[in-house]
Structure 1
């Protein structure tokens, strides 16, 4: 099912930043009786928070075990959700455009009367949800490279700082791989920028297909990429880096244009800062280039 993308929505209608059930942990949410559902939903542009508010309201119609939301900007699950015997799905539509799909789970059947009451609640959510989708999509666009869809430099800087901070706090490892394409400039110079874009897209696909979902991937610069490996992959960081280089080197487009990849990697030590970790990986990348390219060097 295709859900509405934010650019399909009139941005001018989005508000400015303002300001149950059997599910556990709902006590931290405001009671529906204190204000209308619409008023509560208008207090936040966070999709997750809106879903939690709707779950609390829906739980007063029928005790729920779970509530989840599928959208174009991602899937969301209400806090405390668990599977149950009965399921009810509802497509949220505004102005003939599909915003999302809402999936209820309960130990009790969804009778026609219950479904009608839930539909009334959903109708009160539509405009607030649409606005939240707009904001979420714009936030995603601001953090993505427009060509490849990978995280951009801004997203990398934020993610890298957080990963280093968490690694130090929990005494875990954090590994950074910097990858650069060899001979890429000649593609733009001889075959044109459209050919260069095709190569970059192919490389991005290679990286996505090779890495685990828990690893984070960025287009760092023109033909430079960065990968932050999850804790469980740090032991195999060199194997990961070599596999990435190999997959790129063997891609038919890269072979056609004589493009290859070099990589440098470094793993955070207890004494290092994030800047020092980046410098170590960058130095290793230059060493790989100096060693004849198409290879991997470790800091």
Structure 2
């Protein structure tokens, strides 16, 4: 069976939807209810909203305390989800393509009759779910650098705007790190673009390994990278920046090609907007390049 969107769920954890036509009392579910659920699901391509709609419909079959959806584009929980004693898992399959795994929790047992009713409801979700997953996947691809898989400039602009707004609202710290590779142009000119790609991939992996999972990492194009460090004060953000630059400078691939990194760091100040924060980090990067490269400067 081809796995379209979810790679890591077992298809034997729930009946195949090919068996739906063999279920008794298929017509027991009122047609108007089917149309009502389908029409609700078709009003949105937002996975969270679709899950909330399904949770309300499933709650009419059996009171639920929790409902989760696991897909290759992320995991989602229905509004108000809470753990409970009984659990039932079902894999959603359309045209032999695994779309997602849904998990229900309830204080009541999932009898065969209840499971069948949930199966019927899920069958009404399949096409809307497939469409929503495709849209999310396309959106994610449009926000990613094709070589490194990091967020691209478009993704950065959205994330930077959200991060600065959140920092303002919560009165929390936010630092912006801009990083540029030294002598990278010579790699492309002398060793070819394949070698340049090797360096870029190595740098992306180094930064992933060095930074926290909560830090947001982007590649603007060429040899320019950016990192959003949420919750980092100036001193701790500078330590992170120096650790990243040191890791890049000491990596064997970068040393083989005589590539190093320079970085500029700025921390959001009360009087700054996002444009001023970016300009401050960019100016600090320019200072680092002029200071002999392979170093960090703080605005």
Distance in 2 of aligned mates of 1:171 and 1:34:
47
Distance in 1 of aligned mates of 2:164 and 2:54:
36
Q: How does 1:1-299 map to 2 (within 5 A)?
A: 4-5=4-5, 36-232=36-232, 235-299=235-299
Deviation at 1:234, TM superposition (A): 5.1
Q: For residue 221 of structure 2, give the secondary structure of its aligned residue in structure 1.
A: coil
Contact 1:44–1:50 (Cα < 8 Å) also in 2: yes
Residue segments in structure 1 that go unaligned for 5+ positions in a row: 7-31
Distance in 1 of aligned mates of 2:247 and 2:281:
20
Distance in 2 of aligned mates of 1:75 and 1:65:
17
Distance in 1 of aligned mates of 2:4 and 2:67:
20
Q: CA RMSD in A?
A: 1.8
Contact 1:3–1:72 (Cα < 8 Å) also in 2: no
Contact 2:182–2:261 (Cα < 8 Å) also in 1: yes
Q: For residue 276 of structure 2, give the secondary structure of its aligned residue in structure 1.
A: helix
CA-to-aligned-CA distance 1:89-118 (integer Å, 9 cap, x gap): 111111101001111111112111111111
Distance 1:233 1:108, change over 3 A: farther
Distance in 1 of aligned mates of 2:4 and 2:209:
26
Distance in 2 of aligned mates of 1:131 and 1:233:
42
Distance in 1 of aligned mates of 2:295 and 2:198:
22
Deviation at 1:34, TM superposition (A): 11
Contact 1:4–1:72 (Cα < 8 Å) also in 2: no
CA-to-aligned-CA distance 1:168-225 (integer Å, 9 cap, x gap): 2332222100011111111111111111111111111111121112211110221000
Contact 1:4–1:71 (Cα < 8 Å) also in 2: no
Q: For residue 60 of structure 2, give the secondary structure of its aligned residue in structure 1.
A: coil
Distance in 2 of aligned mates of 1:253 and 1:237:
26
Q: For residue 277 of structure 1, give the secondary structure of its aligned residue in structure 2.
A: helix
CA-to-aligned-CA distance 1:56-99 (integer Å, 9 cap, x gap): 11111111111111111111111111111111111111110100
Distance in 1 of aligned mates of 2:103 and 2:77:
9
Distance 1:210 1:115, change over 3 A: same
Distance in 1 of aligned mates of 2:148 and 2:3:
21
Residue segments in structure 2 that go unaligned for 5+ positions in a row: 7-31
Contact 2:148–2:204 (Cα < 8 Å) also in 1: yes
The 10-residue stretch of structure 1 (278-287 or 206-215) with the greater mean CA deviation from structure 2: 206-215
Distance in 2 of aligned mates of 1:214 and 1:269:
21
Contact 1:160–1:228 (Cα < 8 Å) also in 2: yes
Distance 1:235 1:56, change over 3 A: farther
Distance 1:131 1:192, change over 3 A: same
- Structure showing greater radius of gyration is 2
Distance 1:54 1:233, change over 3 A: farther
